[in-house]
């Protein structure tokens, strides 16, 4: 029987795809792999994790292997003490579902996460078997993102790394204090062990592949993680410093932020009636973008006196308002690293400014044509010595000019996808 006609399997899919929606640690693959005579292609462009109610993903089948968990993390819908309906796939069910969905053009790949059933090793072995069936039996060459389970045998992490394109280890909480409060069965060193292992084995693999072109790829799309935002009192500064450390020390590709959705009453958690902090999540993605592409440090954006991001204005504008002594910058002379600090100038437009001013001095009109957002940038630049801002360089005045008009706020579907 076709797996999609099995009521039992569809019920599991409903439960386990629904449970996977709290995991945001997948987005773009960034990996390209040629089809070796089988099914699917892993393309370099992004893959989306949008889940539709009829069982379809835009591009990835995003499911948990199981939501049965031995741990009891207070914030989690899968925790052992929750009365949520439970289910678990078999490895073959995961493989068959992926192939059936792929053949129907519902998806391009798989994002497979899991709670911890019985033990980290048991869970990891099941996931490995499912993905082995896809890769070896079905010859599936599409994108696969796997969740590595902390505490699993390092040999299993290695096997996962050789099968998957991307691997993520969700740290969930950025501090030891929050972990001991909300996830007492988790310890930071154990969570970081697979992150470190993947980082080290990736470095060895890059070296091997330089010497032997036939060497198998190990986690070719890199690793990512997720932090929950708003379940604990951890500040944005703590979250950004943890992200900075992960990027710097373990070369993570992405840190994702997931606004905490209150699911049950617990004195350790925000009230059930409180809204998920989506605006905060959005600002964190903007700050994360500044860390990764604009040369900012977490300590420049926030400090102990101001540990949380402004929700009204984006972090780049806030930085500029706090450092008005650097402005206005002459657009025809400022170095690249300072152009990137101007609100309204993104990486692409900064590069265009540098390139084009080698030929001739840019005019104010030229800036608009090359992508500078002048309604923001005009307060922070001069062009050929002329300041075109219609307000003096004072934080309170500029804040009023740059604040968006009050609207019903809705987060972008493409958080972090661009910044200027
Ligand atoms: S280990 Fe993961 S799945 Fe299990 S309760 Fe904790 S957060 Fe949830």
- Number of structural domains (the chain) is 2
Name which residue sits closest to atom 6 of ligand 1, judged by CA: 73
Instruction: Give the tens place of pLDDT for each residue, 222-267.
Output: 999 999 999 999 999 999 999 999 999 999 999 999 999 998 889 9
Domain boundary among 269, 296, 323: 296
Q: Give the CATH number, domain containing residue 109.
A: 3.20.20.70
> Crossing angle for the helix pair 188-211 and 154-163, nearest 10 degrees?
50
pLDDT of residue 194: 98
**pLDDT band, residue 417 (cuts 50/70/90):** very low
Is 360 part of a structural domain of the chain? yes
113 and 153: one domain? yes
Query: 120 CA distance to ligand 1 centroid (A)?
Result: 11
Is 366 part of a structural domain of the chain? yes
Instruction: Give the tens place of pLDDT for each residue, 404-416.
Output: 876 655 555 444 4
Q: What is the mean pLDDT of residues 18-34?
A: 61
Residue 118 has pLDDT above 50, yes or no: yes
Is 306 part of a structural domain of the chain? no
Q: Is 115 in the pocket of ligand 1 (CB under 6 A)?
A: yes
Provide, rounded to the nearest whole percent, the portion of the chain with pLDDT above 70.
Answer: 87
Q: Is 73 in the pocket of ligand 1 (CB under 6 A)?
A: yes
**pLDDT band, residue 53 (cuts 50/70/90):** very low
29 and 125: one domain? yes
Query: 109 CA distance to ligand 1 centroid (A)?
Result: 24
332 and 286: one domain? no
CB-based contact 198:219 (threshold 8 Å): yes
Residue 30 has pLDDT above 60, yes or no: no
Query: 78 CA distance to ligand 1 centroid (A)?
Result: 6
284 and 373: one domain? no
Region of 78 please: left (phi>0), alpha (psi -120 to 50) or beta.
alpha
Query: 116 CA distance to ligand 1 centroid (A)?
Result: 7
Domain with 374, as residue range(s), is 315-402
Name which residue sits closest to atom 5 of ligand 1, judged by CA: 79
Q: CA of 31: how far to CAs of 45, 59, 202, 213, in Å?
A: 8, 15, 14, 17
- In this prediction the pTM is 0.87
Is 409 part of a structural domain of the chain? no
Q: What is the mean pLDDT of residues 35-60?
A: 50
22 and 124: one domain? yes
Query: 191 CA distance to ligand 1 centroid (A)?
Result: 12
Q: Is 79 in the pocket of ligand 1 (CB under 6 A)?
A: yes
pLDDT of residue 415: 47
pLDDT of residue 412: 53
Q: Is 171 in the pocket of ligand 1 (CB under 6 A)?
A: no
Q: CA of 390: how far to CAs of 323, 376, 404, in Å?
A: 19, 11, 17
Query: 294 CA distance to ligand 1 centroid (A)?
Result: 34
Q: Which two tokens stand for residue 341?
A: 């600090």
Domain boundary among 265, 296, 327: 296
pLDDT of residue 268: 92
Query: 77 CA distance to ligand 1 centroid (A)?
Result: 8
CB-based contact 218:201 (threshold 8 Å): yes
357 and 284: one domain? no
Instruction: Give the tens place of pLDDT for each residue, 159-212.
Output: 999 999 999 999 999 999 999 999 999 999 999 999 999 999 999 999 999 999
Q: Is 231 in the pocket of ligand 1 (CB under 6 A)?
A: no
Is 239 part of a structural domain of the chain? yes
Ligand 1, atom nearest to 67 Cα = 3
Q: What is the mean pLDDT of residues 48-76?
A: 74
């Amino acid at each position: 029987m076709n797996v999609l006609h099995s009521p039992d399997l569809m019920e599991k899919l409903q439960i386990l795809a629904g449970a996977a929606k709290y995991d945001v640690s997948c987005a773009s693959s960034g990996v390209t792999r040629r089809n070796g005579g089988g099914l699917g292609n892993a393309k370099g462009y992004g893959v989306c994790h949008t889940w539709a109610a009829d069982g379809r993903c835009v591009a990835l089948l995003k499911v948990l292997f199981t939501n049965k968990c031995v741990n009891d993390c207070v914030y989690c819908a899968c925790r052992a003490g929750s009365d949520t309906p439970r289910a678990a796939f078999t490895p073959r069910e995961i493989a068959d579902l992926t192939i059936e969905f792929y053949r129907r053009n519902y998806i391009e790949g798989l994002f497979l996460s899991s709670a911890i059933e019985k033990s980290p090793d048991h869970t990891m072995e099941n996931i490995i078997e499912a993905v082995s069936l896809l890769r070896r039996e079905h010859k599936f060459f599409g994108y696969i993102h796997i969740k590595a389970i902390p505490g699993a045998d390092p040999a299993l992490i290695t096997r996962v790394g050789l099968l998957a394109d991307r691997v993520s280890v969700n740290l969930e909480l950025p501090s030891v204090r929050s972990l001991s409060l909300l996830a007492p069965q988790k310890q930071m060193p154990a969570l970081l062990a697979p992150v470190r292992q993947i980082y080290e084995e990736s470095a060895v693999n890059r070296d091997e592949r330089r010497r032997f072109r036939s060497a198998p790829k190990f986690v070719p799309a890199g690793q990512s993680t997720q932090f929950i935002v708003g379940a604990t009192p951890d500040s944005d500064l703590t979250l950004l410093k943890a992200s900075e450390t992960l990027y710097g020390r373990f070369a993570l590709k992405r840190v994702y932020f997931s606004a905490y959705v209150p699911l049950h009453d617990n004195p350790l958690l925000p009230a059930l009636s409180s809204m998920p902090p989506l605006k905060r999540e959005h600002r964190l993605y903007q700050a994360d973008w500044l860390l990764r592409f604009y040369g900012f440090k977490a300590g420049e954006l926030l400090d102990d006196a101001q540990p949380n991001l402004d929700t009204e204005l984006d972090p780049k504008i806030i930085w500029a308002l706090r450092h008005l002594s650097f402005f206005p910058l002459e657009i025809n002379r400022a170095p690249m690293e300072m152009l990137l600090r101007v609100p309204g100038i993104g990486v692409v437009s900064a590069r265009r400014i540098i390139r084009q001013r080698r030929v001739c001095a840019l005019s104010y009109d030229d800036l608009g044509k090359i992508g500078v957002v002048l309604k923001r940038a005009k307060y922070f630049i001069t062009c050929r010595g002329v300041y075109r801002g219609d307000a003096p360089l004072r934080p309170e005045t500029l804040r009023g000019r740059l604040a968006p008009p009050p609207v019903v706020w809705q987060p972008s579907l493409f958080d972090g996808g661009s910044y200027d």
